[in-house]
Chains A and B, each alone.
Chain A
């Protein structure tokens, strides 16, 4: 059975099924429905909703709640996401699981409330200070806003890391059917490290500081080793890619435009396929390389090319230098969305 829900609301449902106990957030368009849903549904399930005084507060409240061993989340959009970067660095530095949802709007500055994917770099590469990463997932439908929010909690707990659900204003607003699971995820046990105010956690310490340089380096090495192991959980998917001569690479909402574009190109006799990273960090490099080898590559994205650069980087790291050099991009910014017409035209020019 399915329910017809706004994607932003699906995020809240996914979080609740994942066992998220606390929501901290400051309203911002186009992410506000997440706060609205959380304000209603968290208390109805005996869980906690706190409207924070700012995004800096939200992320630091998460630091306290995650430090106390509970699953927690926040949701925001560009400007709020920027404000949270220091706190996300602290979460990574203290190895705390927490989920941040960014429903990307147009920037820079105040920009507007329409969709972009321009927070790619801070959402994917760790936007705050220090050498850290987040586990970043990019949903493309209401169903995935639900599923990947659940997955974000699972990955955050597994890897003791902040996870980012990286969506955009367009999909935040759209409604689609969502299939709900039968059961909720069990609560993880963090009592071996969390400060829970219980006898068994009395001497636990949650911190991101090592005053000694050697210790801080050792901790950084530990983080980097963890991130290397995290690559095993990279996810990607292909569409019509098996016999494709031209590969469109896109994530999130752009990947759906890519699907329709590939279908249209095939109707016009061009063998096009799609590769879509579902996780942006870890990036599914091996999966991309498998389908990109020997093909011309085009990206569709709602930014200035941050994603295309990352595709080039990943192709190059996979040893596909020629494919990396072939990467072209069709993109829009400012809240405009790439049309299938433009994408088809651009793909034909590429051939």
Chain B
């Protein structure tokens, strides 16, 4: 078969298993012209090796058969999202999304709009033919008032469907885009202007300057149900009335510099070299202990649990810490569970704690009945003990809140509670580990670490038991 050489296009197109040398576009369709202009611009600027085309679903779906460059064929509406992924993955590539008006204007509008708002470095070529072509000529957001389509058989009624969506005008409200323009391919003069605009989009992406949107008005004779010349006339006379041609934005500014962030050379440097302790060692002789800590948010309940967990890790115990989470965490009550074990930990939930620490009444009343026989409840002395612990469970009332206030550090009530756990040997962990863990928990404010160690010791020696 004889073929015509066309810049930027493959020589033949292997559609449906056959090699052909004509496109699938209908006679007089704007896509055919636009496809040729895009292929030419890409080739003339020498960008075929660098270009990633992101193809749409719709009449433009088969551009990968035509344009001689790499392609990613995206889901319907998602070309701008896929182009975001591609241009972020390959910042040196020239990424071009090709989208239609159902694709970009309806199902994928937010993806296109948000990509433009972020100033993604790709060019979006948006073909507006005022309807859905491929699926059979249905109404698009760009359909003109009164225009007949297969889903507006009596003409588009603005009272029911609103008015045509002006994509360039809407996108022009955004700060990030560097280029926004609307052109047409309805006659020769307009085609020449469109070609210049398409080249401009490629140049912007070649130079990594930012986001560019080019809307192209295109006739669709098949779905307009018109001859090609009448369809072109409709495009010029009716569509341009609604969608005036022009350049909405053309800025030649430098792209914003990315603000520097702290950097690490490797995962190892970022993670492995800080705050690491030796792995847990199996020690079946160490009896598993399960703790629950509960109180109001702000009483340092979660960090008290973390402190016990850290002390256990220092002793190479298997350790698990688990908070209550979600809305519960933001309001009044907070609780967390800690499991310390000599062997790998099974269930992470603490149904029957060996040790329950309560800083307020609701927590006490909610959990006291769950404590394991032989276990201990440590409760702040301000909590009225109307509910007795189950038989075989010890109760310690401890003046954590009062001591913290007396010491002039009301926020240290959790450290006061730690003093009780330490004093009554409720953790199975050494005093040295508990203190080291307490100090370590103030890693970011070392002076507070030592201060709390001192408070801990005072609380232990001074308090009533």
Contact = CB atoms under 8 A, between A and B. Distances in A.
Contacts of A69: 89-90
Nearest to B338: A175
Interface string B327-360: 1000000000000000001111101000000000
B52 A3 contact: no
Interface stretch (B65-73, B240-248, B407-415, B427-435): B65-73
Contacts of B50: 197-198
B84 to A, nearest CB: 5
Given A64-B84, A337-B349, A175 B73 contact: no
Contacts of A207: 55, 64, 71-73
A94 B86 CA distance: 15
Contact of B345 (A197, A204, A205, A256): A256
B385 interface: no
A77 to B, nearest CB: 11
Contact of A17 (B64, B69, B267): B267
B88 A87 contact: no
Contacts of A48: 88-89
Given A197-B94, A207-B71, A22 B89 contact: yes
Contacts of A256: 345-348
Interface string A287-307: 000000000000000000000
A53 to B, nearest CB: 4
Interface stretch (A37-45, A219-227, A314-322): A37-45
A270 interface: no
B111 A86 contact: no
A268 to B, nearest CB: 15
6 residue pairs, one from A and one from B, having the closest CB atoms: A197-B93, A64-B85, A260-B346, A64-B82, A195-B70, A60-B81
Nearest to B114: A53
Contacts of A54: 110
A330 interface: no
Given A86-B75, A207-B71, A341-B351, A44 B264 contact: yes
B263 interface: yes
Contacts of A173: 322-323, 325
Instruction: Tell me which of B271, B275, B280, B306 has the highest count of chain A C-beta atoms within 10 A of its own C-beta.
Output: B271
B31 interface: no
Nearest to A64: B85
A215 B110 CA distance: 34
Contacts of B326: 29-30, 112-114
Contacts of A120: none
Contact of A68 (B64, B86, B279, B322): B86
B84 A253 contact: no
Contacts of B261: 43-44
Interface in A158-184: 169-171, 173-177, 179-180, 182, 184
B90 A197 contact: yes
Contacts of B68: 202-203
A347 to B, nearest CB: 14
Contacts of B52: 68, 195-197
7 contacts: A2-B277, A45-B270, A56-B78, A170-B349, A173-B323, A197-B52, A211-B16
A97 to B, nearest CB: 12
B204 interface: no
Interface in B33-59: 48-52, 54-55
A258 B75 CA distance: 42
B309 interface: yes
B267 A202 contact: no
Contact of A60 (B55, B111, B268, B271): B111
A350 B264 CA distance: 55
A1 interface: yes
A208 interface: yes
B15 interface: yes
Contacts of A60: 74-75, 78, 81-82, 85, 111
A340 interface: yes
A174 B73 contact: no
Interface string A45-59: 110101011101100
A63 B86 CA distance: 8
Interface string B153-178: 00000000000000000000000000
B97 to A, nearest CB: 9
Nearest to A274: B346
B112 to A, nearest CB: 10
Given A114-B326, A211-B16, A53 B111 contact: yes
A325 interface: no
B132 interface: no
A197 B85 contact: no
Instruction: Tell me which of B64, B84, B92, B348 has the highest count of chain A C-beta atoms within 10 A of its own C-beta.
Output: B348
Interface of B: 15-17, 48-52, 54-55, 61, 64, 68-75, 78, 81-90, 92-95, 110-111, 114, 118, 261-264, 266-268, 270-272, 274-280, 306, 309-310, 313, 318-323, 325-327, 345-349, 351
Interface residues of A, number: 85
A256 B306 CA distance: 21
A137 B100 CA distance: 38
A202 B325 contact: no
B347 A66 contact: no
B277 A46 contact: no
Contacts of A230: none
Given A44-B261, A90-B75, A174-B321, 20 more contacts: A16-B271, A21-B89, A46-B263, A53-B110, A60-B85, A61-B82, A68-B93, A72-B89, A87-B78, A113-B326, A114-B326, A195-B72, A196-B93, A197-B50, A197-B70, A198-B49, A202-B68, A202-B69, A209-B61, A261-B347
Nearest to B120: A50
Contact of A72 (B75, B85, B93, B322): B85
Instruction: Tell me which of A52, A64, A198, A259 has the highest count of chain B C-beta atoms within 10 A of its own C-beta.
Output: A64
B279 A2 contact: yes
A108 to B, nearest CB: 18
Nearest to B85: A64
Contacts of B95: 197
Given A13-B267, A45-B270, A174-B322, A257 B114 contact: no
B71 A195 contact: yes
A3 B271 contact: yes
Contacts of B306: 175
Contact of B322 (A64, A170, A197): A170
A63 B78 contact: yes
Nearest to A87: B75
Contact of B275 (A3, A113, A211): A3
Contacts of B114: 52-53, 57
A61 B275 CA distance: 35
A196 B89 CA distance: 8
A158 to B, nearest CB: 20
Given A56-B81, A113-B325, A180 B70 contact: no
A63 B84 CA distance: 10
Contacts of B69: 202
Interface string A2-44: 1110000000010011000110100001100000000001011
A253 B51 CA distance: 46
A41 B270 contact: yes
Contact of A196 (B64, B90, B264): B90
